[in-house]
Amino acid sequence: MRQSQLFTKTRKEAPSDETAKSAKLLIRAGFVFKEQAGVYSMLPLGLRVQNKIVSIIRREMNAIDGQEVSMTALQDPELWKTSGRWDDKVVDNWFKTKLKNDTELGLSFSHEEPLTRIMKQFIGSYRDLPKFVYQFQTKFRNELRAKSGLLRGREFLMKDLYSFTKDTADLDIFYERAAEAYKKIYNAVGIGHVTYKTFASGGVFTKYSHEFQTLTDAGEDTIYLAKDKSVAINKEVYNDEALTMYKKTTKDFDEVKAIEVGNIFKLGTQYSEPLGLTFADETGKHHPVVMGCYGIGLGRLLATVVEVLGDEKGLVWPKAIAPFDVHVVELNPKQDSVISSGVRDLIVSLEQEGIEVLHDDRIDATAGQKFADSDLIGIPMRVVVSSKTVAAKAFEIVDRASGKVSAGDATEILRSLK
């Protein structure tokens, strides 16, 4: 990708209507475009990051036997009335609309009910269980205050997984498998070292749940983290019952700020019973299917990575989700045939090895502007090509995260990427 071809451009100043570091940096770097409060479009660089996060999550969901589907956003009110969740007093963030014939519809905020209805067609016997189904789908939530950029949106992409098992023992087994998969996801995107499985309220889904909370001063949530890092409890459920359950006292915890980057719920038969999802056991007796649900908001996860890893210069992407692997910064392009030839040879050698390259070939940008933009965009490795480095046959290599500067040829660059 040639940077001169990108329709997006960097901005020197942060937007005045944004308060979150992640929103400011993502907009300044040209990764997202703000349509309105709580609604953001993904631009080419941002979409590349999001798609890489999707790939990581898909890999881990498939590893725990998930099967991917794609469900509709438009929702039938009658289905949700059956479960009791159409009422605005029960779920206060519905987006509701009407067809031209005045028929009311909803825009999905979650998919327990519609997937339960689908599974009624395919689950009839204990032989059909267990089943684990997931999707990446746009969700809509009518937040009263949409703030903090992508951390709290009204429209966003979510990975939601649902488990269907014959009893609570099987649910418990899969619940722990899902929790381990989540840990692998957070490690892969670079925030596993500050993300903790946290005992929490179940909200509109169930009484209790577990959240995955990432420590950062930008967090809207308050959690209590055990000094030995073994237990985390959300402030909403930080009480004597929770302390007794974990055999801890208040002296064992520190109060910290965090961002919720995922959640898992044991739903039991909360939705299968009212919607009639049952299975026949070995004797022919029918039982309600036992369910669980497991969610990750993609935009929030992406923004949290920025909150944790971004610095005063800009974005700092981990290799696994960076929009490109290498940012080749060419000084004085098209003015020096030797440099241009060196750039071409370098990029060809990298791309032949499957390395994704963003080539800053802009003619009208100074070296200082290019370096500042490179820091802002946050690609893990910057390679500077100039008459000096070409003559020396050793390109300047800059590690974005550490700032370490070294020199080497294409082989050295490839070795550094592994």
Range of the domain at 170: 3-309
Q: Are residues 11 and 68 in the same domain?
A: yes
Q: Are residues 259 and 330 in the same domain?
A: no
Is residue 375, in this structure, part of any structural domain at all? yes
For the entire predicted model, the pTM comes to: 0.94
Is residue 61, in this structure, part of any structural domain at all? yes
Residue 200's pLDDT is 93
Q: Are residues 347 and 201 in the same domain?
A: no
Q: Are residues 349 and 221 in the same domain?
A: no
Domain C-terminal end among 281, 309, 337: 309
Is residue 53, in this structure, part of any structural domain at all? yes
Closest by Cα among 393, 389, 418 to 326: 418
pLDDT tens digits for range 197-254? 999 987 766 678 999 999 999 999 999 999 999 999 999 999 999 999 999 999 999 9
Enter the tokens of residue 104: 């009311």
Q: Are residues 132 and 236 in the same domain?
A: yes
CATH number of the domain at 170, please.
3.30.930.10
Domain C-terminal end among 274, 309, 344: 309
Q: Are residues 380 and 280 in the same domain?
A: no
Integer CA distances (angstroms), 269 to 159, 274, 318, in order: 22, 8, 40
Is residue 316, in this structure, part of any structural domain at all? no
Q: Please tell me the distance from the alpha carbon of residue 383 to that of residue 80, in angstroms, as a whole number.
A: 55
Residue 345's pLDDT is 84
Residue 174's pLDDT is 98
Is residue 319, in this structure, part of any structural domain at all? no
Residue 409's pLDDT is 80
Query: Domain total for the chain?
Result: 2
Q: Are residues 303 and 203 in the same domain?
A: yes
Q: For the chain, how far is it from start to end, CA to CA, in angstroms? A: 21
Q: Give pLDDT tens digits along the chain (418 positions).
A: 899 999 999 999 888 889 899 999 999 999 999 999 899 999 999 999 999 999 999 999 999 999 999 999 999 999 999 999 999 999 999 999 999 999 999 999 999 999 999 999 999 999 999 999 999 999 999 988 777 899 988 999 999 999 999 999 999 999 999 999 999 999 999 999 999 999 998 776 667 899 999 999 999 999 999 999 999 999 999 999 999 999 999 999 999 999 999 999 999 999 999 999 999 999 999 999 999 999 999 999 999 999 999 999 999 999 999 999 999 999 876 655 545 777 888 888 888 889 999 999 998 899 999 999 999 999 999 999 888 887 777 889 999 999 999 888 877 777 777 6
Q: Are residues 270 and 352 in the same domain?
A: no
CATH number of the domain at 331, please.
3.40.50.800
Strands 67-68 and 131-140: parallel
Residue 334's pLDDT is 64
Q: Are residues 30 and 157 in the same domain?
A: yes
Is residue 42, in this structure, part of any structural domain at all? yes
Q: Are residues 359 and 247 in the same domain?
A: no
Is residue 37, in this structure, part of any structural domain at all? yes
Residue 238's pLDDT is 95
Residue 201's pLDDT is 87
Q: Please tell me the distance from the alpha carbon of residue 176 to that of residue 219, in angstroms, as a whole number.
A: 26
Scanning the structure block, which residue is given the tokens 């071409």? Answer: 344
Q: Are residues 304 and 344 in the same domain?
A: no
pLDDT tens digits for range 15-59? 888 989 999 999 999 999 999 989 999 999 999 999 999 999 999
Residue 407's pLDDT is 86
Residue 336's pLDDT is 52
Is residue 320, in this structure, part of any structural domain at all? no
To 10 degrees, the CA torsion angle through 75, 81, 86, 90? -150
Q: Are residues 148 and 123 in the same domain?
A: yes
